[in-house]
Amino acid sequence: METETKGYDLTIALDKITLSYDDVGDGDIPVIFLHGYPFDKTMWRGQLDFLQSSNRLIPCDIRGFGKSIDEESKLSIDLFADDLIHLMDKLSIDKAIVCGLSMGGFIALNAMKRFPDRFEALILCDTQCIADTPEVKAKRYKTIDEIESSGVTIFNEGFIKSVFHSDSITNKKEVVEELRRVVFSNSKHGIVQGLVALAERSETCSTLNEITVPVLIICGREDEVTPLSQSELMHEAIKESILQVIDKAGHVSNLEHPDIFNEHLLEFLTALKGFNFEKINGNQRMV
């Protein structure tokens, strides 16, 4: 292992950049958390506080976001997945449980497709396996043109509003404001290159049936960015996967209903230690 340091805001040299990550708690198989676009690793703080007494947890700032500053590279999901594997190598982690939300899920699925032997289990949150349609891709590039000409404010504000359930916008203003702070802390380069990475990503749906590790899928019922139908599609394709739906949640279900989200994570992680599966209401569920 390159470092035995534990704690928050650790750094590690990785392909011409310094990657920022946290490493807290103890457990046999670490859980690596990959945040969504355009967020950072602090979006997982509620999960760290809840789970670190029984698990080793490693959220990282994806290249170009948070404190993993990269103002030069052309960003891509392939590059992000390479970074994940390099981080594991640097920390001497042979296999991990990888938890990704939204873009973090794209990265996890990309890495699963290319490096399946590095996964102990997979947790997919408010994400999907499809690539952008030509129409969606064109819309992303139009957005990039608007950001280049007018700045990030209009895009950032619209995106923040789109990821929350209406109840959260009204009743969880502190959560919304904290995510706004995170989004606006990212550079224009990161915002733009993140859109490029999303637009140019490859589909991973065609290899879902090859996944053999335990998989948990979590989705907000009112997620408008990656709709529940996409989680249901993945659930159908991945043998013995578990689907948990969180009511009155949008695209950031872990922030909107952390207690429910955390219980789903804890149940899954606890069950991994026993590998005891039971079928309940037509869904595979580990107990």
pLDDT, position 5: 84
Residue bearing the bigger pLDDT, 15 or 155: 155
Q: What is the pLDDT of residue 278?
A: 44
Look over the chain and give the mean of its residue pLDDT values, rounded to a whole number: 94
Domain range list for the chain: 7-286
- Cα(10)–Cα(81) distance, integer angstroms: 20
Residue 283 has a pLDDT of 44
Q: Which amino acid is at 21?
A: Y
How far is it, in rounded angstroms, from Cα 238 to Cα 244? 14
Confidence of residue 279 (pLDDT cuts 50, 70, 90): very low
Q: What is the pLDDT of residues 27-79, one digit of tens each?
A: 999 999 999 999 999 999 999 999 999 999 999 999 999 999 999 999 999 99
- For 223-266, write each residue's pLDDT tens digit: 999 999 999 999 999 999 999 999 999 999 999 999 999 999 99
Q: Are 275 and 240 in contact (CB under 8 A)?
A: no
Tokens of 205: 């749906």
Angle at the Cα of 46 (from 255 to 40), degrees rounded to 5?
A: 70
Task: Please say if the pLDDT value at position 281 is more than 70.
Answer: no
pLDDT, average across residues 174-181 = 98
d(CA 281, CA 88): 37
**Superfamily in which the 7-286 domain is placed by CATH:** Alpha/Beta hydrolase fold, catalytic domain (3.40.50.1820)
1 pLDDT higher than 50: no
184-238 per-position pLDDT tens digit: 999 999 999 999 999 999 999 999 999 999 999 999 999 999 999 999 999 999 9
Distance from C-alpha of 236 to C-alpha of 215, rounded to nearest angstrom: 12
Rounded to whole angstroms, the Cα distance separating 106 from 97 reads 15
Residues 6+ apart with CB under 8 A from 286: 214, 242, 267, 268, 271, 272, 274, 275, 276, 277, 278
Is residue 223 a contact partner of residue 11, using CB atoms and an 8 Å limit? no
pLDDT number for residue 23: 98
